[in-house]
Structure 1
Amino acid sequence: MEPVLADSVRLTDEGVLVLDRRRFPFEREWVLCRTAEEVAKAVEDMVTQSSGPYFAVLYGMVLKARTLEHLPFEQARQQLAATAHVLENTRRTNNALRKATAVVLEAVDEHRDVSRALDGARTGDERYRGKSRALGEHTAALLPDDATVLTHCWADLYLTETVKAAQRRGKRLKFFCTETRPYLQGARLTAETLIEMGVDTTLITDGMGAAVLQSGEVDALVTAADRVTMDGHVVNKVGTLGLAVAAHAFGVPFHAQVQAPDLNAPTAQDVEIEYRDGAEVLQVLGRPSATPRAKGLYPAFDVTPPRFVTDVVTDRGVFRAGELDEYYEGEQR
């Protein structure tokens, strides 16, 4: 049985159903987005995170295409491209959303028919899941048979596929999860899903990571990456950098997971870091956690330099930071 969060975005006749990850696991509430604009708002408002926005954008494009089928192709294509731009900019640091819109537009262009948007979305869905399975297999192969893993934030299908691959190999994993302020994705999403999959799971606060790495209990730090630049910088949920530096200091390998390094980001300077409203760090799950007279700062992502990254695990295998060009060998750029 698949974990609940492995299927948290669904296309229906009425619209796109998105499981509200802000409330999970305390409530299992689905948000119905009837238009592409409502999908964009749901992504911006963090109704869904990690790979959730990728699937939401795939099917948000289908919703828009449904409204354009009566128009001449060129006019419909122009409007669909405008919607793609809006959807892509809901979360600018992660380049997965551009991949989602591109696969839909490719299907539309191939047939010069906006009604083929659904074909593109299905291709994108299957492609993402297939790459995640391959990535999970490669990650599981790196881990000892009785590995204790520290992870940060919510790695979504990368995490669940790694666990499934390890279980198929007979490996018994244990996890430490950081709570991941301010949305507590690690506490709510990661820990709940790991326990759902039968994994021994211990939750720690964000400030405990270095001490747990120092303890010698951890065999590997494993996180997702929202983007990896071609020169090996890992861009991920803020807090990843501190854990990677601590892991390096205490001799613990850091395996960063991403389907592919980003050809559009040669260096870290080519990645825009999203800054969210600082007021979000002054509360937890909608309740104040600090004096309202304080200012908050919330860079949603940080950048880990390649010297603190042991390797990058992709769907095509494992690469050192200086080897990422090899991912694309044999492809036309």
Structure 2
Amino acid sequence: MFRADKGLAFLLRYENVAWYEDGKVRILDRRIYPLKIKFVECKNHVEVSKALKDMVTQSGGPYIAVNMGMVLAVYEAVNLPDDEYIKYINDAANTLCHSRPTTVANMLKAVDRCHKTALEVINNRENAVQLVLEAAIDEANKKYQRYEKVAQYLYSKIPKNGTIMTQCFGETVIGMLMRLCKENDNNIKVICAETRPYFQGARLTASVVKDMGIDVTVITDNMPGYVMKLKNVDLFTSAADAITMDGHVINKIGTFQMALAAHYWGIPYFTTGIPNKKHSDISSVKIEERDADFVTQAMGVKTTMEGVKGFYPSFDITPPKLISGIVTDKGIYSPYNLNKYYE
């Protein structure tokens, strides 16, 4: 079977994101990678949903995990009577897609094909699990191929041997972008903000870039404004957890302040992702607040006195006036004209 993850870093290969096998889904625990390589084993789709809520996988990982969760749901329900099977599959899709409040609309879109396939195989129970698994792998391939196109458009904005700064973990786009740089002998430098409190930039982005042989440096989250100028950054880029049709980017907390700094220095900020029709404007987005205790520690080490409070909004909102372009699989669009993407 064709695999669009060929040649990418360890972290981006399907089996190392989320994978169904023998009645279980294994999800690489990105909360501790690369210090430890550990997989969380889910024995039912509810455990997959909990793993998503608990941030076992992040960035693009949930979109593969949610489909592997649907495969597992079919495995769980395969012997149920027809009416119970249909209800079980529908309930499972709903549970998986609502694992995280901010990305429900994207999750519903991501799981749509596997959900439909799971219902269509009701009269082919013997092959049901395999058919839904094949649909899940095919969806992963399509996702990777789509983001390979995104990476190609983003690559066109990077000067030869230039320097880029990233926020959080742009997942497949980062891997595809690094592959393009290697293929074209473009010796770029990458500067990653660490992205507290989960350190996705330090642990995930930097690991992928290093794994693919590209020069990479990690900075703390309070350094970007100064470092952009000092290190002659040519471009700032991030992915997006959601892009509204009125041009707002919802992404990992810290993106807004980095966009402000880039705007001040005249450095372009390109967001990668697909505008979401279900988010007609910013009022449709709910910003998720997570466990405040994560702010008072770093990778499990307490950093504050007992009784000190934390506050942890997972995402922030970057307005269109700070965004140079939305980089999609169809080209680069102005944040003020995202309807054009769907024309």
Q: In the alignment, is residue 244 of structure 1 matched against residue 259 of structure 2?
A: yes
Alignment of 1:5-84 (within 5 A): 5-7=11-13, 8=16, 9-84=18-93
User: Please, which of 106, 110, 129 is the counterpart of residue 100 of structure 1?
Assistant: 110
Which one of the candidate residues 265, 283, 291 is aligned to 2:279?
A: 265
* Deviation for aligned residue 1:316: 1.2
Alignment: residue pair count: 328
Distance in 2 (CA, whole Å) between partners of 1:152 and 1:307 is: 18
What secondary structure, in the 3-state scheme, does the structure 1 residue paired with 2:22 have?
A: coil
- Alpha-carbon deviation of 1:216? 5.6
Corresponding residue for residue 280 of structure 1: 294
Q: Which amino acid aligns with 2:12?
A: A
SS of equivalent to 1:127: helix
Aligned match of 2:308: 294
Deviation at 1:327, TM superposition (A): 1.0
Distance in 1 separating the partners of 2:23 and 2:118: 22
Q: Which amino acid in 2 is paired with 1:93?
A: T
Report the AA paired with residue 117 of structure 1. Answer: V
State the secondary structure of the residue aligned to 1:17.
Answer: strand
**Secondary structure at the residue paired with 1:151?**
strand
CA distance in structure 1 between the partners assigned to 2:115 and 2:339 by the alignment: 27
Correspondence for 1:325: 339
Q: More deviation in 56-65 or 1-10?
A: 1-10
Confirm or deny that 1:193 pairs with 2:226: no
Deviation at 1:317, TM superposition (A): 1.1
Structure 2: gaps of 5 or more residues: 1-6
Residue 111 of structure 1: CA displacement? 5.0
User: Which of 243-252 and 115-124 deviates more?
Assistant: 115-124
Root-mean-square deviation (CA), in Å? 1.5
- The answer on whether the counterparts of 2:74 and 2:118 sit within 8 Å (CA) in structure 1 is no
Q: Deviations over 1:180-203 (max 9, x none)?
A: 111111111111221111111111
Shift of 1:110: 4.6
Which residue pairs with 1:161 in the alignment?
A: 176
The equivalent of 2:321 in structure 1 is 307
User: Separation in 1 of the partners of 2:324 and 2:151?
Assistant: 17
TM-score by length of 2: 0.92
Moved more, 167-176 or 138-147: 167-176
> Is the CA contact (8 Å cut-off) linking 1:140 and 1:163 kept in structure 2?
no
TM-fit CA distance, 1:324? 1.0
- Give a deviation string over 1:228-258, Cα, whole Å, max 9, x none: 1001101100000000011001100001001
Secondary structure at 1:299's aligned position in 2? coil
State the one-letter code of the partner of 1:129: Y
Q: Which residue of 1 aligns with 2:3?
A: none
**Structure 1 residue 89: Cα displacement:** 1.4
* 8 Å CA contact retained: 1:213, 1:247: yes
Once residues 108 and 29 of structure 1 are traced to their aligned partners in structure 2, the CA distance between those partners, rounded to angstroms, is: 29
1:2 is aligned to 8
Q: Distance in 2 between matches of 1:119 and 1:195?
A: 31
Q: For residues 138 and 83 of structure 2, what CA distance do their matches in structure 1 show?
A: 23
- Specify which of 167, 190, 193 is matched with residue 152 of structure 1: 167
